[in-house]
Structure formats: C-alpha cells, structure tokens
Structure 1
Amino acid sequence: MPPANRAVAYLKPGAVEVRTIDYPTLELQDGPGVAPDNVGRKRRHGVILKVLASNICGSDQHMVRGRTTAPEGLVLGHEITGEVVERGPDVETIDVGDIVSVPFNIACGRCRNCKERKTGICLNVNPARPGAAYGYVDMGGWVGGQAEYVMVPYADFNLLRFPDRDQAREKLLDLTMLSDIFPTGFHGVVSSGAGVGSTVYVAGAGPVGLAAAASAQLLGAAVVIVGDLNAERLAQARSFGCATVDVSRGGVDEQIAEILGEPEVDAAVDAVGFEARAHGPDAPEAPATVLNSLMGITRAGGALGIPGLYVTDDPGGVDEDAKSGTPKVRLGLGWAKSHRFTTGQCPVMTYHRSLMMAILHERVHIAKAVGATVIGLDEAPRGYAEFDQGASRKYVLNPHGALDRVRPV
C-alpha cells in the first residue's frame, strides 16, 4: 500500500484546507483543474518526490483570494523541493535518494521553446496555452506540491540535483527559494538591465520583491530602493541594506529624489502585478498603477522587468477592462522614453544552478532576506490568512519535518 498523501486544496475565496488525496503515480489522473487532454498522460520520464519543503507564493494567494477561475479542490503549490523516492523507467540521470529543486514551470525539453531555453512557455505540457506550472489555474492541471508527495514529469530535464545531500539539508531553507521566487526576482532584475553601479527601484516588498532586491545587490547595484504600502515589509527590506519608499505617502519620484538626488532610476522591477493599488493613503485598487509609475521614474533608455503576475481573467477586477486583463497602461510614455519591457514566467532553469552555487558558497542569504518562516502542513490555512493580511514572511511548509532544525544562513 502506498503511504497516505495530504495536501493543501483551494476551497473558495479566502479558504484552503488540508485534505487527503491520492498518492501520485507516473500518470496524470483526472481531477480539479486538469486539462481533459492531459488526463492519462503517462510519465515514464517522471519521478515521485517526498516533499521536503513547499512554499506559499503570492501567486497562490491570488487564487485563494478568488481573483482567478481556480476550481474548488485544486491542490496548490508550485514551489517544491524534495527527495526522489521513485523514478520512472525512462529516467537516466536522477536517482532515488537525490535531493532536488523543482522549477515551478514544467518543461518538456523537446519543443522549440525549451530548446531555446524559454522553459516558461513550453509547448507540450499544457493543451490550453504555452507554459505550465504545478497546482495553478489554467496551467495544465499538474497536481501541486503543497503536499507530502508529488509527481514531477520530465525529471532529467527539469530537476536541479543538489551535489551533496548533507549540505542540501543544512541549507534547505535557502535552497527551497530556488524553485521560484529567487530566480523570479533575479530574472526581474536582469530583465531591467541592472548591474554594477546601477540604481534600482523595486515595486513591492513581498517575497518576490525582496528576492529581487537581494538579487540587485548580488549583481552589484549601487543603490536598491524598495517601495510598498506595508510598513513591516519595508522594514524587512531595510534589514538587509535597501532604501525604502512608502507609497502610502504619495508620489514615488519625490521620495526617490530624496534618496538619490534625482527622481529617476536606471532600472525598475514590478514585483506587484495586477492587484496593485494607487499611491496615497487608503488608495483604491488600480491595476496599471505600478507599470505607469515605473515608466515615470525609469530613465530614458532604461528597462522594466515585470515578474509581477498579470492575468487574462480577473473575476474580481475593478472594472470591465481589469476583468479581462486589460489594464490602462500609459504605453505612450514608455514608447517616448524608449523603454524595454520583459514580462511572463521566469525561465527558472536559466538561473537556478548559478543561484544554487551562490547559496552554497554563501554569496547570498536569501531565506533571511525574504523572511522565511517554517510552518507545518496543517498550519497552511493560518499561513495563507496571515500572508493575506500582509505578514512580512515567506511561509515554508514542512510536511515531513526536514526543516525542524534548519535555520536561515
């Protein structure tokens, strides 16, 4: 008999629960959110993981708030680190016992986009559109990893194997950030053109924004400024050397000028996405606020990295444009300033090995930067509720106790 498998499932807006689900097999079964054309796909090239760490992400929170078309019962979780307990007959380079990081974007390694390293828009894993992810609405229906066990397809291509099991367990709280937010934040900064000596503004001090800020420092930025409405999150950004802007005070450009002596930066990152709010006290939701603000404060010829999530359907949108994913972006300003824009899923495999090496050799302390906080699987509903209220923490689920004695390094 296979072991029991408990997982975090979406119920309705504002509610998740831990429930027992089927133990994974090397075949994609029918279930909530599974694309009909994916049902029955055999994954001889897949593995089953014992989940050692799985993180709650802001993208999960969008679904839990009811801001997507996620169905009831969808098993959540696309940030997964685990130990291989079973491998398919076609797996060649991954062994039982390996500890691995799972890129949140699922990629086949065979299609044109994968061969061009555009693994966030694989053509073979989601019948509905390019790109897939675990436990996410409209992303193919691959079962999420906020669970005790999960199946990962195309293991040889997707998985990042840590070179030393003991070292991996020691640094597990940092290494678990490699599945999504660290590469995503890093991608946002690289896309913004930031580098040695740059001045960088990061909109949003949630975990992705904090990861972007730490990435900008890793890349040699001269000044990193983080903007947010949340005082606790701004304090977290200052804890590792960032300057901050409180957007509840109003305009960003004046506060940037107070820091830099001029109201512009070289590079900007949108780590907020479609649930943005206008600037000022008690500001209403305004989906294009961040994008329009960044075009205003980024120098002519600069670039915007946009890892923040924008969706094609938002049932809770403030108007009909927002509900169809059509924010009122001031594109003319970006055009006049010759800005470059990079959007979409981060291609995690472009970055994760290099970032792993930075963690293993202690060039970056990403768990501390993002406020990593370990909780049990049964505490997931509390983690979601506190995260929704703006807690400055990155909640990491610990389904098998692998993180019981692990601390940020």
Structure 2
Amino acid sequence: MRAVVYEGPRSVSVIDVPDARIERPTDVLVRITTTNICGSDLHMYEGRTDFETGRWFGHENLGQVVEVGDGVDKVKVGDYVVIPFNVACGHCKNCERGLTNYCLTAQPVPEWAGAAYGFADMGPWAGGQADLLRVPWGDFNCLRLGEDAEEKQADYVMLADIFPTGYHATELAHVKPGDQTVIYGAGPVGCMAAYSAIIKGASRVMVVDRHPDRLKLIEEIGAIPIDDSAVDPVEAVNDMTMGLGADNGCECVGYQAHDPQGNEDPSLTLNRLVKSVRFTGEIGVVGVYIPQDPGAADELAKHGEVAFDFGEFWFRGQKLGSGQCPVKRYNRQLRDLIVAGKATPSWIVSHELSLEDAPDAYEHFDNRDAGWTKVVLHPDLASAKK
C-alpha cells in the first residue's frame, strides 16, 4: 500500500509500505477514502517533535471497512466509518470515565496516557494517510456512518479531530447561549471552535488571527474577525464588551504562537486570553503544548515551560481547562448534526487532492500560503499532476 512517509524536517514522500492487516480479533481494517492534513501534523513535519523517520502520518481518517477480526460484533464489512484520532481501548480506568484522550492501554509507556494514529509519542499506531488503516478495538473506535457517507465525506471526516476538538474548546470554556466568546487562532481548529460557539448560541464570537483568507472565512459564518497585525486584540475585545472582556475564550494556536513580526512566543495567546476574558471567566486550551521543545527559541520553551501571567489569571478568578479532545464524547452528536443538515464543517476545506499530491500540499499548508486553509486527501483520487 502507499503512505505519506516522513523523511526528515519538511520532507515527506509517498512510497509503498507494508500493507496494514488484521493483527488481533478485535481489529477492523479500513480502506481509507478520505484523510486530512492537520495542523498538528505540521509540528512533526517541521521536525519539532521526535517523530521517527520512516513512519507515516494521518490521524484524521474516514473510509470503508474491508475486513473485520473474529472478535468484532458491531462493525461490518462495507460500512463507512470515521475514526477518532484517539486510539482507545474502551475498558481502562480513563476510557471508562469517558477520557478516551488519555487511554492507559493504547499508550505503551506506563507513565504516560493517550494514543493516536501516526503521532509522535502517542504509541506505535500507524497513520491513515495511506490506502489502508488498522483500527484496534474496532467496535469501540469506529463511528458508523449512514447512507450519505460517501457523498458527505468532506463533512464526516472532520469528526475524526477538528470538529470535536473545536467543540471541546468551547466545552472547556463552558460556552453557553448568549455568551460573548473570543477565540485565538483561525486555523482549522479555531474555525471549528468559532463554528461550535455559534451552533451553541453564543451571541458574539470574536476570532483573532492575521491571515486574511482565514479571517474572511470566519466572517462568512457570522463571527467577528480581529486582525492582530492591525490592532491590539485585547483592546479590540474589551472595546466590544463594554470594557469587561469576553465571557469565555478558547486557545487554538499552541506552542508555536508568534507575534505579527514573526517572533515565536508560546505564552502569547495564553496571556492575551487572560486579559481578553472577564473576571471569573473561563478559558479552554486545545492548542498543542508539549513537555519538551528542543527547537524552541528560548530556554523556558525548550523545556515545555511558558511565562504565564499567573498573577493576573489568579487575580481575575478565572478557570482554565486544557488537553486533547476525547473525540468519542462528541462525535456521535456532531455526526447527527451533519445528518440533519444543521452542521456543514466542510466549509473549511480549501483543497481536495490525491495522496500523491501530499508532498506539495504539506509545503503549501506549512507555509500558510493564501487559500490553503484545510487539505483533504483521497487515496483513490488521481493526482492532478498526471
């Protein structure tokens, strides 16, 4: 089978690798028809993590079941399924509590928790930017899709990660009907957080970014774009909220945040959020932060530490929730919103390409080139280069 294989910093290729196969009775084998490039893939693509050369990416996956193990009861050959990026067993202490983002079984390091497909430090699981994907504990991890699955793949594949992750940000921030919400970052996850806040009935959703194409998308769904290269975003949010600040906020950027001049500062969006959210407000952090970052610009960041304005945060009596999304907590209900026509997350998609187009797509997406907001790959699609 073919897969998008990591060859080193900013270098991937599409090559033949050993076929995925059923290895345990509870496995499901999926022929991947749609898989996304995620902003989190770029951390690995850029060489900022310890992702191993020769592994392949892909944690946002959808496809059709082609084989099931003898221990699989629910999922059938021929089903279209979307797979959470979290690899979860369903029976450990954390999974039983609904915390599939911190599965204790799928993560082989005893002191750690949480696993994912094709992801640094999150277990040995192969990614789905390939023709086939082995899904362990298949009955638990596969979300079956209905008759419209094939035609709405670009919508349903967002259930693997970014739609639930954006929704999770609003859950951590406790966004409620009528709230005024600020979101830092208008990448795919930030867009989905804004979309989720609107679905929940927030009265005003403000989104801070500086890329014109992203800000234009935000405006199209009824959110308020704030260009932090043109204005002070904290002042802009406070001006729109009678000087009080937003009721809650979401951090959707992560440790590679940088100012308009290009200087990287992992504390930038966190500290801006503290000052943009009102006293006793709540903040949800789903942007990626990591324990070690040897490629960082300063000593604190190299050790996964940030200069957080804790005094201001404490003084304001704010609350903060963080961490990866437990996709299974939300994906079924979000799927049903898509089925009912009440959510169409594919509005974020800018490019649908073949697997062979992945190297160019990674380069464009990593450069944040205009118009490259979300890339979807189809292994069965012919390359535009041919």
Q: Which runs of 5+ in 2 are unaligned?
A: none
Which residue in the other structure is 2:379 paired with? 399
Which residue in the other structure is 1:407 paired with? none
CA distance in structure 1 between the partners assigned to 2:294 and 2:18 by the alignment: 30
Percent identical pairs in the alignment equals: 39
Q: Is the 8 A contact 2:102 2:113 kept in 1?
A: yes
CA distance in structure 1 between the partners assigned to 2:131 and 2:140 by the alignment: 23
Correspondent of 2:297 among 318, 331, 346: 318
Which residue in the other structure is 2:206 paired with? 225
Instruction: Identify the range of structure 1 (119-128 vs 332-341) with the bigger mean alpha-carbon deviation.
Output: 332-341
CA distance in structure 1 between the partners assigned to 2:194 and 2:351 by the alignment: 19
Which residue in the other structure is 1:157 paired with? 140
Q: Is the 8 A contact 1:171 1:360 kept in 2?
A: no
Shift of 1:62: 0.8
Q: Is the 8 A contact 1:69 1:313 kept in 2?
A: no
Describe the superposition over 1:120-161 as per-residue Cα deviations: whole angstroms up to 9, x where unpaired: 000001112200000001111100000010100001111110
Shift of 1:388: 1.1
Which residue in the other structure is 1:45 paired with? 26
Q: How many residues align?
A: 379
Instruction: Identify the range of structure 1 (106-115 vs 307-316) with the bigger mean alpha-carbon deviation.
Output: 307-316
CA distance in structure 2 between the partners assigned to 1:218 and 1:135 by the alignment: 31
Q: Is the 8 A contact 1:236 1:371 kept in 2?
A: no
- Does residue 209 (structure 1) correspond to residue 187 (structure 2)? The answer is no
- Does residue 341 (structure 1) correspond to residue 324 (structure 2)? The answer is no
Correspondent of 2:5 among 9, 12, 27: 9
Correspondent of 2:180 among 181, 199, 204: 199
Shift of 1:250: 4.7
Which residue in the other structure is 1:288 paired with? 267
CA distance in structure 1 between the partners assigned to 2:263 and 2:62 by the alignment: 37
Correspondent of 1:176 among 146, 153, 157: 157
Pairwise mapping of residues 9-408 of structure 1 onto structure 2 (< 5 A)? 9-27=5-23, 43-128=24-109, 129-162=112-145, 164-165=146-147, 167-262=148-243, 264-278=245-259, 281-368=260-347, 370-391=348-369, 392-401=372-381
Describe the superposition over 1:369-398 as per-residue Cα deviations: whole angstroms up to 9, x where unpaired: x23421110001111111112144210000
CA distance in structure 2 between the partners assigned to 1:58 and 1:333 by the alignment: 30
CA distance in structure 2 between the partners assigned to 1:16 and 1:353 by the alignment: 33
Describe the superposition over 1:180-232 as per-residue Cα deviations: whole angstroms up to 9, x where unpaired: 00000000011111110011111001000001110000000001111112122
Q: Is the 8 A contact 1:205 1:234 kept in 2?
A: yes
CA distance in structure 2 between the partners assigned to 1:229 and 1:10 by the alignment: 29
Q: Is the 8 A contact 1:51 1:81 kept in 2?
A: yes
Q: Is the 8 A contact 1:193 1:302 kept in 2?
A: no
CA distance in structure 2 between the partners assigned to 1:9 and 1:260 by the alignment: 47
Q: Is the 8 A contact 1:51 1:399 kept in 2?
A: yes
Q: Which runs of 5+ in 1 are unaligned?
A: 28-42, 405-409
CA distance in structure 2 between the partners assigned to 1:324 and 1:192 by the alignment: 27
Describe the superposition over 1:247-289 as per-residue Cα deviations: whole angstroms up to 9, x where unpaired: 11352122224444435101100000000013xx414110111
CA distance in structure 2 between the partners assigned to 1:272 and 1:149 by the alignment: 31
Q: Residue type of the partner of 1:160? A: L
Cα RMSD after superposing both structures = 1.5
Q: TM-score, normalised by structure 1?
A: 0.90
User: Matched residue of 2:254: which SS?
Assistant: coil
Which residue in the other structure is 1:35 paired with? none
Instruction: Identify the range of structure 1 (70-79 vs 385-394) with the bigger mean alpha-carbon deviation.
Output: 385-394
CA distance in structure 1 between the partners assigned to 2:22 and 2:46 by the alignment: 32
Describe the superposition over 1:313-365 as per-residue Cα deviations: whole angstroms up to 9, x where unpaired: 21211112111111111122212212111111100000000000111111112
CA distance in structure 1 between the partners assigned to 2:206 and 2:375 by the alignment: 24
Q: Is the 8 A contact 2:353 2:381 kept in 1?
A: no
Q: Residue type of the partner of 1:350? A: R
CA distance in structure 2 between the partners assigned to 1:70 and 1:250 by the alignment: 37
User: Matched residue of 2:149: which SS?
Assistant: helix
Shift of 1:308: 0.5
Instruction: Identify the range of structure 1 (244-253 vs 79-88) with the bigger mean alpha-carbon deviation.
Output: 244-253
CA distance in structure 1 between the partners assigned to 2:218 and 2:358 by the alignment: 25
Describe the superposition over 1:26-72 as per-residue Cα deviations: whole angstroms up to 9, x where unpaired: 23xxxxxxxxxxxxxxx220111000100000000111111111111
